[in-house]
Amino acid sequence: MKSFPHLLAPLDLGFTILKNRTLMGSMHTGLEEAENGYQRMAAFYGERAKGGCGLIVTGGIAPSEAGRVGKDGSVLDSLEVALHHKPVTEAVHREGGKIALQILHTGRYGYHDKIVGASTLRAPINIFRPHPLTEEEIWKTIDEFATCASLAREAGYDGVEVMGSEGYLINQFIARRTNNRTDDWGGSFENRIRFPLEIIKAVRKKAGKDFIIIYRLSMLDLVEDGGNIEEVLQLAKEVEKAGTTIINTGIGWHEARIPTIGMMVPRAAFTWVTAKVKGHVGIPLVTSNRINTPEVAEEVLARGDADMISMARPFLADPDFVNKAEAGKPEEINTCIACNQACLDHIFVGKITSCLVNPRACHETELIIEPTTKKKKIAVVGAGPGGMSCASTLAERGHEVVLFDAHSELGGQLNIARRIPGKEEFKETIRYFGNKIQRTGVKVHLGKKVTADELISGKYDEVVLATGVVPRIPSIPGMEKANVLSYVDLVLNGKPAGKNVAVIGAGGIGYDVSLYLTDGGHPFTKENYLKEWGINTSISENGGLSVKQEMKSNRKVTMLKRSNNKFGSTLGKTTGWIHKTSLEDRKVAQISGVTYKEIDKEGILIEVKGKDQKVEADTIVICAGQDPNRELLDSLEKAGVNVHLIGGADLAAELDAKRAIDQGTRLAARL
Count the neighbouring beta carbons within 10 Å of the beta carbon of residue 500. 16
Q: Note whether 253 and 271 are within 8 A (CB).
A: no
Spell out where 538-667 has E strands: 556-560, 589-591, 594-600, 603-608, 611-616, 619-622, 626-628, 643-645
Q: In angstroms, what CA-CA distances link 125 with 18, 26, 577?
A: 37, 21, 13
Task: Give the strands of the sheet with 594-600, arranged side by side.
Answer: 594-600, 603-608, 611-616
Which residue, 319, 360, 318, 353, is CA-closest to 33? Answer: 353
The C-alpha angle 450, 451, 452, rounded to 5 degrees, equals 130
Q: What are phi and psi of 22, to 5 degrees?
A: -110, 145
Would you call 390 helix, strand, or coil by DSSP?
helix
Q: Note whether 448 and 455 are within 8 A (CB).
A: no
Residue 113 is classified by DSSP as T
User: Would you give the end-to-end CA distance of the chain in angstroms?
Assistant: 35
What is d(CA 295, CA 297) in angstroms, rounded to the nearest whole number?
Answer: 5
Residues 6+ away with beta carbon under 8 Å from 634 = none
Which residue, 649, 323, 248, 221, is CA-closest to 465? Answer: 649
What residues form DSSP beta bridges with 471?
A: 626
What is d(CA 187, CA 140) in angstroms, rounded to the nearest whole number?
Answer: 21
Residues 6+ away with beta carbon under 8 Å from 669 = 367, 368, 369, 393, 397
Let me know if 168 is a catalytic residue. yes
Residue 31 is classified by DSSP as G
What is d(CA 342, CA 329) in angstroms, rounded to the nearest whole number?
Answer: 26
What is d(CA 397, CA 592) in angstroms, rounded to the nearest whole number?
Answer: 49
Q: What are phi and psi of 9, to 5 degrees?
A: -70, 140
Would you call 462 helix, strand, or coil by DSSP?
strand
Q: Could you say which of 109, 157, 168, 511 is catalytic?
A: 168
What is d(CA 286, CA 278) in angstroms, rounded to the nearest whole number?
Answer: 10
Residues 6+ away with beta carbon under 8 Å from 491 = 416, 419, 420, 512, 513, 516
Query: H-type helices in 213-361, by residue range?
Result: 229-242, 271-275, 294-303, 313-317, 321-326, 344-347
Q: Note whether 568 and 334 are within 8 A (CB).
A: no
Q: Note whether 395 and 442 are within 8 A (CB).
A: yes
Q: Note whether 54 and 18 are within 8 A (CB).
A: yes
Q: Please state whether beta strands 500-504 and 484-486 pair in parallel, antiparallel, or not at all (unpaired).
A: unpaired
Would you call 143 helix, strand, or coil by DSSP?
helix
Which residue, 19, 550, 533, is CA-closest to 270? Answer: 533
Q: How many helices (H) and strands (E) in the chain?
A: 24, 25
Rg over CA atoms, the chain: 26
Q: Note whether 128 and 184 are within 8 A (CB).
A: no
Residues forming the active site: 168
